[in-house]
């Protein structure tokens, strides 16, 4: 019989969102007439920007004609998109098109990046955290078993609490790789320039690499909050940045993201040789990936057109106005509310005496609203729940009403 990868057996229960999906499916089967509103997974609800639609239609037409047809594209992404990204998303930050690797989304990128890192690294993650960072490390064998609270042996957990504004303190010990995500999923917190500078300084001093997930940068409202890690001095020496078109351009179903890897980030081989991370990732990409699809990359390029930028700004404004309504409703109810100001997630302390999953069940059964239990993102998320602002205005207004009726 074929041997399986035993590391998978260490994974705790199901991945969070399928687990929520299972509970919701059971509820809807038992209550087929319930008017359920989903504010669980952060999935966009509004239509693709017109500029994107037009670019994708045009690209399909090109593929439909022999003279303009294209087959395999460059594995790292088409030049037109890599250049549009460098010029628009990293203008003035000395990031070139060549530093950008286009993919089919950040979830895959944050998991796949582990391919190029060997065993034996000390890996730090925040708690609570986007579960993909943890589970992919478990799958690849970078951890031991999980304890009762779901914490895996071998990982360094960096608690993010209301006391530290959900930005972790610099650890005493030396780590080799640290995952940071700002604006943060799930807490909706943002990190200041000084906080990120402290992390970059730590990484340089310890020869560590920061895996910086900036999937929610488009939602930053405060002009002082950095949108990219490369705004921080020294970051080009130690950080990779993950970006996505899912949340700003509504690409959760279309699928497109990218990683930025400057030439100046290095790891070390077993023999102690300094190796370029970019070269390894490029090699890995050529072997395992045939590039994101052409129409999708044309659609992503259109996000950077004048029309695309205006349409994305309108989408962001819509979701952030939803976040404000949710914040207001929870605050009026006397709940402790975080996030939702520079991110599309509102992070709320559960009412006295309720655990995260109690609150999930109460919201589902009594208000017919799906939220995400904080403990699903890690032990330090216990006692909180996350409400996603990705929804129609009418649904968000209805959620606010139901919350008020419930609590
Ligand atoms: C979330 O709800 O945390 C996100 O939608 C997950 C993701 O982007 O993969």
Averaged pLDDT for residues 127-143: 96
CB 296 within 8 A of CB 256: yes
Length of the chain: 407
- Distance of CA 346 from the midpoint of ligand 1 (Å): 14
Same domain, 127 and 229: yes
Helix (H, G, I), strand (E, B) or coil at 51: helix
56-87 pLDDT tens trace: 999 999 999 999 999 999 999 999 999 999 99
| Residue to substitute in 21, 44, 126, 130 for testing ligand 1 pocket (most ligand atoms within 8 angstroms of CB) | 130
Report yes or no on 171 lying in a domain: yes
- 1 assigned to some structural domain: no
Cα of 43 from ligand 1 centre, angstroms: 7
Residue-range definition of the domain harbouring residue 337: 7-47+307-406
335 assigned to some structural domain: yes
Q: Residue with the nearest Cα to atom 1 of ligand 1?
A: 42
pLDDT exceeds cutoff 70 at 13: no
Q: Which atom of ligand 1 is nearest to the CA of 388?
A: 2
State what percent of residues in the chain have pLDDT above 90: 96
Q: Please tell me the predicted confidence (pLDDT) of residue 14.
A: 65
CA–CA distance, 210 with 175 (Å, rounded to integer): 10
Same domain, 20 and 82: no
Segment 359-399, tens digit of pLDDT = 999 999 999 999 999 999 999 999 999 999 999 999 999 99
| Residue 150: predicted pLDDT | 86
Q: Looking at the structure, do residues 321 and 285 belong to the same domain, yes or no?
A: no
pLDDT above 90 (res 12): no
Quote the pLDDT of residue 15.
Answer: 66
pLDDT for 327-353, tens place per residue?
Answer: 999 999 999 999 999 999 999 999 999
Say if 162 falls within a structural domain.
yes
Strand pairing partners for 209? 177
- What's the pLDDT tens digit per position in 187-241? 999 999 999 999 999 999 999 999 999 999 999 999 999 999 999 999 999 999 9
**Residue 296's CATH number:** 3.40.640.10
Give the whole-angstrom CA distance, residue 20 versus residue 24.
Answer: 6
Looking at the structure of the chain, the number of domains it has is: 2
> 163-172, pLDDT tens digit by residue?
999 999 999 9
Ligand 1 atom with the shortest distance to the CA of 107 = 9
In a domain, 21, yes or no: yes
Q: For 126, list phi and psi in degrees, rounded to 5.
A: -80, 160
Among 260, 288, 305, the domain-final residue is 305
Rounded mean pLDDT of the chain?
97
Which of 24, 42, 107 has the most ligand 1 atoms within 8 A of CB, as the residue to mutate?
42
Ligand 1 center to residue 51 CA distance, Å? Answer: 24
The answer to whether residue 199 is domain-embedded is yes
CA–CA dist 119, 116 (Å, integer): 10
Q: Which residues have any ligand 1 atom within 6 Å of their CB?
A: 41-43, 107, 185
Per DSSP, the three-state class of 293 is coil
Q: Which residue matches tokens 């890897």? A: 261
Average pLDDT over residues 148-160: 94
- Position in ligand 1 atom list of the atom nearest CA 186: 3
Q: Which helix (H) or strand (E) holds 384?
A: strand 384-388
State whether ipTM is beyond 0.90: yes
């Amino acid at each position: 019989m074929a041997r399986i990868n035993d590391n998978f057996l260490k994974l705790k229960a199901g991945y969070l969102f399928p687990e929520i999906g299972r509970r919701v499916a059971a509820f809807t089967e038992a209550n087929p007439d319930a008017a359920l509103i989903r504010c669980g997974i952060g999935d966009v609800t509004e239509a693709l920007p017109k500029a994107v639609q037009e670019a994708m239609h045009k690209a399909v037409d090109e593929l439909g004609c022999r003279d303009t047809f294209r087959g395999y594209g460059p594995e790292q992404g088409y030049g037109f998109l890599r250049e549009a990204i460098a010029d628009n998303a990293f203008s003035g930050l000395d990031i070139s098109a060549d530093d950008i690797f286009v993919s089919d989304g950040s979830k895959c990128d944050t998991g796949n990046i582990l391919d190029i890192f060997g065993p034996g690294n000390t890996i730090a993650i925040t708690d609570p955290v986007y579960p993909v960072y943890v589970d992919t490390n478990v799958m690849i064998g970078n951890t031991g078993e999980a304890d009762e609270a779901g914490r895996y042996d071998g990982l360094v957990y960096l608690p993010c609490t209301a006391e530290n504004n959900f930005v972790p303190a610099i650890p005493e010990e030396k780590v080799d790789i640290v995952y940071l995500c700002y604006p943060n999923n799930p807490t909706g917190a943002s990190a200041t320039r000084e906080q990120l500078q402290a992390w970059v300084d730590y990484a340089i001093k310890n020869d560590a690499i920061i895996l910086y997930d900036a999937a929610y940068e488009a939602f930053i409202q405060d002009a002082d909050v950095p949108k990219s890690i490369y705004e921080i001095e020294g970051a080009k020496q130690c950080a990779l940045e993950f970006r996505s078109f899912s949340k700003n351009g509504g690409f959760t179903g279309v699928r497109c993201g990218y990683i930025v890897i400057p030439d100046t980030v290095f790891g070390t081989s077993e023999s102690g040789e300094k190796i370029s991370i970019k070269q390894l990732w490029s090699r890995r990409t050529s072997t395992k990936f045939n590039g994101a699809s052409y129409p999708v990359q044309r659609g992503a390029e259109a996000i950077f057109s004048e029309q695309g930028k205006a349409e994305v700004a309108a989408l962001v404004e819509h979701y952030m106005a939803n976040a404000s309504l949710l914040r207001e409703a929870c605050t009026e109810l006397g709940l402790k509310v975080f996030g939702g100001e520079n991110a599309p997630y509102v992070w709320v302390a559960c009412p006295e005496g309720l655990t995260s999953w109690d609150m999930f069940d109460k919201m589902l059964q009594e208000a017919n609203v799906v939220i995400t239990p904080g403990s699903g993102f890690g032990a330090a998320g216990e006692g909180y729940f996350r409400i996603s602002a990705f929804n129609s205005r009418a649904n968000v207004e209805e959620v606010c009403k139901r919350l008020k009726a419930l609590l």
